[in-house]
Structure 1
């Protein structure tokens, strides 16, 4: 959550579809691929406005609580998004090594506590979750 809320536009490379996080677990920089749907959404911000923080963190806790309530979730914490990502990626065939790298875990045994489904092919975890979210978004719009 800290990395997301503190993200600044200078960390975002829309042309290269990456976000570089300087401070992550282990103190090493981490580059994250931007899914096409997220890239398109971020590109809606005018270039002249791509300065400073990416997200407005004013009243973050209140807005988070409202979003959780609107989604019909109970006792859902921000960190649960990591578990959700790992589970969805695994359910859609990502292997544990890929998920381990995506979550910056030091070893796969930690990742195993997050995801429990057999993989089916070699598409990356980011690709799988992005595809899942895109298909759900299309279904809601239809």
Structure 2
């Protein structure tokens, strides 16, 4: 956060640039290379962070926000669902709304014994 605060106001359109020369236009980073990433990580004391970690973070946030795994597969350009299935544990509620969708015979018999629910309207 400190690095972002330091950069606030330097340029209204980009956060990280390759050039910070005062009288020159900043060069937007189109392709981050290893040198830029390691420099940025060193600036914030972040160790063991790699390019692919961005992809993992992106996918994790998608799943936690409710993106279905099949959609995530397409968004990420993956060919196999197995590649993104490892993120399924991040959305534990993804099946809860379907858990009671099927009714088994013993449940049907128990439901027959219950009187039907009645709605009461209060005016």
TM bin, normalised by shorter chain, reads: 0.3 to 0.5
TM-score, length-scaled by structure 1: 0.40
TM-score, length-scaled by structure 2: 0.45
Q: Kindly indicate whether structure 1 or structure 2 has the higher relative contact order, using CA contacts under 8 Å at least 6 residues apart.
A: 1
More strand by percentage = 1
